């Protein structure tokens, strides 16, 4: 019986010794995801805000509405300005038509008077007066056209300027409907309905938790064995004995070394300088932002 207990003790000692000689992880780090901070692009009262933390939101969904009453009134005022400017724009053809009719009449009279002078039935002075009148009318019409064209051009430019202002207002009205820019899960919510939103004030934070990135740190010796696109095995702990293994893909390696961040373990404790890398891992629902994980192998299959 004593011999049996002796063998049990030896076996346990060998088992513990073999455990102590287990190979440490190549690298370790924490999970993160691409986070997008969605902010208000206009100021106003939040009429509604239809999301909660933990909600999965599709890209393009309208999640909030900001009061646009003042902007709509401003647009109405600008449109009235355009109507007034169009009404004030002169009709060039109508305003010079009377002068052109008078000029045409004088030209016809000049021809008739020239024939009378040739027949010595009228004096030269009558013809000279008509020619002077024609020259006066031509100069007057030219000056009138120039003035009217300038006025029309100025009003046209004013209309363009007001139209551009309307475009800005309409763009801001459209921004009052806050649309979710990326598909993902709401990570944090910073506002509630009936609060006042201001420009660039964050409304919520969203991230795609289905695609996680493990930011791990490798020693120079280990990083030299890796390349982009390489498959690796990632292990996470869930309690004292539970763990999960995931296959990941190396998607980024830093081009510069840095000192080992606090709390990060590498293969060599003597390696002060390490290289950061990102490993893409498909989330099965268990992985969380900030969760610790280790890279144990580069032989993922």
Write down the pLDDT at residue 266: 53
* Phi, psi (rounded to 5 degrees) for 39: -115, 160
pLDDT at 57: 97
What is the C-alpha separation between 129 and 77, in angstroms, rounded? 54
Please, what are the averages of pLDDT over each run of 10 residues along the chain (301 residues)? 42 39 72 96 95 96 96 97 89 80 86 82 83 87 86 92 96 97 96 95 96 92 89 86 90 86 55 86 94 82 50
pLDDT of residue 265: 55
Q: Which two tokens stand for residue 23?
A: 């190979």
Fold that domain 23-34+208-297 belongs to in CATH? Elongation Factor Tu (Ef-tu); domain 3 (2.40.30)
Q: What was the pLDDT predicted at 12?
A: 41
| Cβ-based neighbour number of residue 279 at 10 Å | 27
pLDDT score of 79 = 96
Architecture of domain 36-66+177-207: Beta Barrel (2.40)
**Predicted pLDDT at 211:** 92
Strands of the sheet containing 177-179, edge to edge, are 177-179, 62-66, 44-49, 196-197
| pLDDT, position 92 | 73
The CB-side HSE value for 11 (13 A sphere, CA atoms) comes to 6
Write down the pLDDT at residue 262: 60
User: Using DSSP, how many helices (H) and how many strands (E) does the chain show?
Assistant: 5, 14
| Residues shown for the chain | 301
Predicted local distance difference test score (pLDDT) of residue 299: 65
């Amino acid at each position: 019986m004593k011999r049996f207990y002796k063998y049990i003790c030896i076996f346990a000692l060998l088992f513990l010794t073999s455990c102590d000689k287990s190979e440490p992880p190549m690298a370790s780090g924490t999970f993160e995801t691409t986070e997008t901070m969605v902010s208000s692009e206009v100021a106003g009262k939040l009429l509604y805000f239809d999301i909660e933390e933990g909600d999965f939101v599709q890209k393009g969904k309208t999640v909030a509405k900001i009061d646009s009453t003042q902007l709509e009134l401003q647009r109405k005022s600008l449109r009235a300005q355009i109507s007034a400017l169009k009404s004030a724009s002169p009709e060039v053809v109508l305003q010079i038509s009377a002068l052109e009719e008078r000029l045409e009449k004088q030209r016809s009279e000049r021809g008739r008077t020239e024939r009378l002078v040739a027949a010595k039935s009228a004096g030269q002075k009558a013809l000279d007066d008509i020619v002077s009148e024609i020259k006066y009318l031509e100069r007057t019409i030219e000056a009138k056209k120039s003035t009217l064209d300038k006025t029309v051009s100025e009003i046209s430019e004013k209309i363009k300027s007001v139209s551009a202002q309307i475009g800005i207002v309409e763009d801001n009205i459209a921004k009052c409907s806050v649309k979710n820019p990326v598909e993902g899960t709401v990570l944090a919510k910073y506002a509630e309905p009936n609060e006042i939103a201001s420009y660039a004030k964050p409304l919520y934070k969203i991230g795609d938790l289905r695609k996680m990135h493990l930011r791990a740190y490798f020693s120079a010796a280990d990083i030299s064995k890796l390349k982009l696109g390489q498959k690796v095995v990632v292990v996470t702990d869930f309690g004292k004995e539970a763990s999960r293994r995931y296959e990941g893909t190396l998607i980024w390696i830093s081009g510069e070394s840095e000192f080992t961040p606090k709390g990060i373990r590498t293969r060599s404790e003597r390696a002060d300088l390490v290289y950061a890398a990102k490993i893409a891992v498909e989330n099965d629902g268990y992985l969380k932002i900030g969760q610790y994980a280790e890279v144990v192998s580069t032989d993922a299959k």
